[in-house]
Structures are given as C-alpha cells and as structure tokens.
Amino acid sequence: MPNITVELLRGRTVEQRRAFAEAVAHSAVELLGARRQDVRMVFNEITPDVVANGGVLASEDESRAGVVAALADGS
Amino acid sequence: MPNITVELLRGRTVEQRRAFAEAVAHSAVELLGARRQDVRMVFNEITPDVVANGGVLASEDESRAGVVAALADGS
Amino acid sequence: MPNITVELLRGRTVEQRRAFAEAVAHSAVELLGARRQDVRMVFNEITPDVVANGGVLASEDESRAGVVAALADGS
Amino acid sequence: MPNITVELLRGRTVEQRRAFAEAVAHSAVELLGARRQDVRMVFNEITPDVVANGGVLASEDESRAGVVAALADGS
Amino acid sequence: MPNITVELLRGRTVEQRRAFAEAVAHSAVELLGARRQDVRMVFNEITPDVVANGGVLASEDESRAGVVAALADGS
Amino acid sequence: MPNITVELLRGRTVEQRRAFAEAVAHSAVELLGARRQDVRMVFNEITPDVVANGGVLASEDESRAGVVAALADGS
C-alpha cells in the first residue's frame, strides 16, 4: 500500500499512464512515507455512456462535450 | 457526492441507464439532501462468466438462466 | 445485481438511508428490469478529512463548507 | 455477504474461475460461518498496461515478465 | 494480484480472518496459478445499518435477523 | 474524473493527506490533461488486522513490522 485506483475516461495513452503512475509513486514515497515497492496503481478506464453527473450521462452532457471530444480524438 | 457505483450485468440499453441515472439523482436530492450537481454515478457492466453466487458462475447457474437470457436478448 | 455502492459524507440518518435504499430498489426494478431481491446497496460513509476535490480536502474547502456544516448538524 | 471482488490479470480460463469461486465459497462457509447462498464473487479482469507496481506498468516491468507471459500464453 | 476485497458484516474474529486469508491465498496459488506473495486481501467490515437487500436495510430485515444476531453475539 | 481511491494503512496525518491530494491533482492536470476541478480523491484508511499479503495478516507479518510500527507511532 497505498493501493490506488484511478477511474478515468478512456483515451489516455500508455505514455500518459506511465508518467502518471511514476509521478504518483514518487509522491507516495515523498509525502506519505510509503515504500516504493508497495505503491500499486490500477487504471479503471470507462466510457462516457456509463458515467453520469447530476443525473446526466457524460455522453449526452453538453457541459462536458469538450472533455469527451478531446479524449475521443486522442488529443 | 454521493458517488454511486452500479455493478450490473451487461445488456441494458442507454435509455435504461439514462432513466436510472436521472431517477437516482432525483432520489439523492429529495431523500439525502444532496446537491444535484454533486451526484455521480458509474455503471460497471459485467458478464455472467465473471460473477458467481454461492460458488456457481452466473453463466452456469440454472436458477439465474432466465435473468441472463433476458439480458442477452436485449429484452 | 445490481450491486450498488453509495459513497457519501457521514451524517445522514437511518431514516434517510432507509428511504433512499427503498427508492433506488424501486427504480432498479422499474427501469432496469432487476428482480427486487437481487438489488443490493451498501453505504460507504466517509468524513470530510478523507476526501479531496481539485486537490483540496473537503474539510478545508470553503466552497463546500455549507454542505459539510449541514451534515455535521444532522440537519 | 461476503461480497468478494477479485482483481486479477486477464488470462485465466473459465475452469479456473469456476474452481476458485467454488473453493472460496466453501472456505467462506467453513471459516467465516457464511450462508453459502450469500457468498458472491466478481472477477475484475485487467490487462498489464493498466496496472503499475512501484510506479512501473506491469506491461513494462521486467520483474513481472514471467507472470505476464504465462497468462498471455493461456498457460 | 490477485487483489481481493472481502466485504462482510462486522463480527468475525481475527482468527476467522486469519484462517480465511490463508485458505484463499492457498486456493489462489493452486487454482489460479498466482504467486503466493502476490495474493493480497482486504476485509471491508460493515454494519447491518449500512447495507440493504431488496431495498430493506439488513438491520431491519426479518429474513436476515438470525445472521445479524449471530455476528453481534460473536458466535 | 479522474476519481481516485487511495487505500492505505491508518496513521498518516491530515498534513500528509493534504500534501498528497494536492500533488496528485497537480500530476493529473499536467500529465493526464484533467481539469483540476474534476480531480477527486478519497482516502480509505485501513488497519493492519484487516489486510493480508500472501495469506498473512499485516498485523502478524514480521516482514512488515517496521512499516506498521512506524505508522502506529505517528512517525
């Protein structure tokens, strides 16, 4: 531990996951006093049609259209 | 918050997810006093071969055959 | 299933949990076609000092002070 | 309950999941005093590129290459 | 991995948790081909007033009164 | 999103949680392209007698005695 689960919209690259996992492991060692080998992270990638905010699916949410489009483009 | 996770068998339509997300957000506001914008829901769809009840996989469970078949039919 | 987890700030009464569990079970039967006996819900109550939004702990977040105070009052 | 979630690398067969679900249900009844019909298990299968140990993705982790390769072979 | 989460009603003894953790680790090695040192288990103990089945809190569920009473007695 | 859950042994101070939440939110913005206001983190603090590695409870695991003792001391 820490055992970290990251729920996020699909569309990040493996480079992004690699960099984030590395940065968070570093923060866990520096700030939480964890042993590096004990830091575990799992990415749980989801799609916009299975998440809702305020009762509205993200795939149909105008206020999140920019976020969803950017990830779909791989940008 | 509330941050709500709904684990369910795959096979529901987007219309069903939309209606359920809307209904639960309404209940959270009315009954829990939540702010609507704070209600978050994620559907975690699973298949019958990765869930077991009483030690029996749902895909091989006679007592659940009706449920599984109905979802596979999209009915 | 559905197997529903509700992460929320501590402070709701048992009456609120009872009413919400009942309402969501009803919605699951009506809208998702679930069997009533298969609907399961767990409340995971947390405190404001273990949740952060935008990198700020809720216990120190001015924009959420109203929500946190209302729950602490049991109101 | 118990409601058991098993996060594991993809690659196990349905026979392996069946045997494990059966064995754990048996242990829950014998050792925890659970009712057999209340024991529920969900397998959450993940791929090596979404899990990191010590800040390193399992898909790029030399120390886990043997585990990952064995599962990819279905062996 | 496997990374196993066991959600269960509070009331089991440390001896029960120890025996169950040992038995499941053994099953994971024998049946899933896991490395013993990779098997991780977390018990998430909950109380009957935060779990509902079929829309009814377990603390108010006549059909589960026996289970709840047995655990409260530590028996 | 990302919606981040951090399971860790109890014993960290609020200052440690504050610093870690801030650092991870920063990394999520910089490395994953998240909007800062969308980054959510929940700490799930557990005790050594409810977690097992390799089938051995952490509270009884000689190889982890140093980690457990340091957290119990608040050091």
Q: Is the dihedral of CA C6, C9, C13, C19 positive or negative?
A: negative
CA-nearest residue to C17 within chain B is B32
* Contact D17/B at CB under 8 A: yes
pLDDT in tens, F20-55: 999 999 999 999 999 999 999 999 999 999 999 999
* Residue B74 dihedral angles phi and psi, to the nearest 5°: 70, 15
Question: CB under 8 Å to A48, separation ≥6 — which residues?
Answer: A9, A57, A58, A59, A61, A64, A68
pLDDT band at residue B9 using 50, 70 and 90 as cut-offs: very high
Closest-CA distance, A6 to chain F, in angstroms, reads 5
Domain positions in chain F are 3-72
A26's tokens = 């570093």
* Cβ pair B42:A53 closer than 8 A: no
- Look at the block and give the residue holding tokens 């968070």: A24
- SS3 labels along B11-68: CCCHHHHHHHHHHHHHHHHHHHCCCHHHCEEEEEEECHHHEEECCEEHHHCHHHHHHH
- Look at the block and give the residue holding tokens 């700490």: F43
pLDDT band at residue E41 using 50, 70 and 90 as cut-offs: very high
pLDDT confidence of residue E74 = 56
pLDDT band at residue F75 using 50, 70 and 90 as cut-offs: very low
* Cβ pair C21:E55 closer than 8 A: yes
Per CATH, the homologous superfamily of domain D3-72 is Macrophage Migration Inhibitory Factor (3.30.429.10)
- Asked whether the beta carbons of A24 and F26 are under 8 A apart, the reply is no
pLDDT confidence of residue D65 = 86
- Look at the block and give the residue holding tokens 């749980």: A44
Residue pLDDT tens, chain C, 75 long:
899 999 999 999 999 999 999 999 999 999 999 999 999 999 999 999 999 999 999 999 988 888 888 888 754
Which residue in D4, C3, B51, C55 sits closest to E53, CA to CA? C3
CB atoms within 10 A of CB F7: 20
Residues paired with residue C43 on neighbouring β-strands, in sequence order? C6
Question: CB under 8 Å to D13, separation ≥6 — which residues?
Answer: D74
